[in-house]
Chain A
């Protein structure tokens, strides 16, 4: 049985925030978008666990829709959180790539 990689893919919450930064999307559209830009497949359980947590923390909110597939959008707090997380990741990425280049 293959061992799970010790470094996990990005947090589902961060992936969802990144996906919604392009505009409101429903669950299925989020999974398709995340698969396209990050190569990560979010299962329904993982996706909705993260959506529930993000909504509870006020980072995303549902958009009124007559469809069964309810879209979500970023709140102002969600946008700020995403920007903060991406800044940290950008610093981490540039630092690590710079050090790799030196080595």
Chain B
């Protein structure tokens, strides 16, 4: 085998090995984001400017916050400002907010088997636009 052929074989092998990484990199650059396909979070009402914590914190650690307030309320009886009730004032639909990410990562939660989080009626649901983030 000549050194030329060997060079081609090595290049192809490297490309094949790196294909998944390159693919996600290129597709991310082309679409302008690295989001999971099919996640369309409902945009809250524009009159609400900010969440109870920073968006970045809420995105990754909202479950820690919920566990924290649960512990405080269930064990020590201190009902704070934050709860499902306050979430509901902005994020009216759990189908178009909570479940979007949870479904994308196949996470089955049973919060709402016991806690009431109503789906908005048809009229109010149509008023809100669907948008990515």
A and B bound? no
